[in-house]
Homo-oligomer: A and B are copies of this chain.
């Protein structure tokens, strides 16, 4: 199955935005990648369906064979991105070991994803308001799940005595906020996603008052 092979390549982290290897048919995937790039550059409302189709090497009408509306394209991107976010955070939070390691792992992975896939992440994090009402509500639900994962992790670490925080809820939201904003400012060059992830993991440990390693 081509999908499984592509999922493997994706897990290893290939070219800048290969989050969409599993999407088929080919034309639908090309349109999705084109939409991600266009939405990230100019925003959803400033992007025309002609632009998306053009980037994918197709006519404007071809878009509507694979997606019912422009908004559905955004929803697809947003949905996949938020699913990924929840999964990355959850897996790190449920790992074995001390809470400081779990938090560091969660932040490192989450930040690395935001840097590595910064075009996708930019759309996922900053184009929410362009979603239709129902889609928006669904995505907000996923965001609450991410927030809960981080909140529970910080609270657990605090109760275990590994963290020293006055307000676990606010601290968790601040850590998440710091990670998310990476999608806004990151651009390739100065430092690798891996390096930024490691640096941010250290910052997060400082924020929760974990003893320096």
Q: Which residues of A contact B (CB under 8 A)?
A: 41-46, 126, 129-130, 166-167, 170-171, 173-174, 177-178, 180-182, 184-185, 191, 196, 199-200, 202-203, 206-207, 209
Contact = CB atoms under 8 A, between A and B. Distances in A.
Contacts of A171: 203
Contacts of A43: 43-45, 129-130
Contacts of A202: 166
A204 to B, nearest CB: 9
Contacts of A42: 129
Nearest to A127: B43
Contacts of A207: 203, 206-207
A46 B41 CA distance: 16
Residue with the highest number of chain B CB atoms closer than 10 Å, among A126, A130, A177, A202: A177
Given A46-B45, A129-B42, A178-B178, A170 B199 contact: yes
Give the number of copies in the complex: 2
18 contacts: A43-B44, A43-B45, A43-B129, A46-B129, A46-B130, A126-B126, A126-B184, A166-B199, A174-B178, A174-B199, A174-B200, A177-B181, A178-B181, A180-B184, A206-B206, A206-B207, A206-B209, A207-B207
Nearest to A173: B185
A96 to B, nearest CB: 27
Nearest to A40: B129
A45 B42 CA distance: 10
A206 B46 CA distance: 40
A196 to B, nearest CB: 8
A145 to B, nearest CB: 16
Contacts of A129: 41-43, 46
Contacts of A173: 185
A43 B199 CA distance: 32
Nearest to A204: B207
Given A42-B129, A43-B129, A43-B130, A203 B174 contact: yes
Contacts of A44: 43
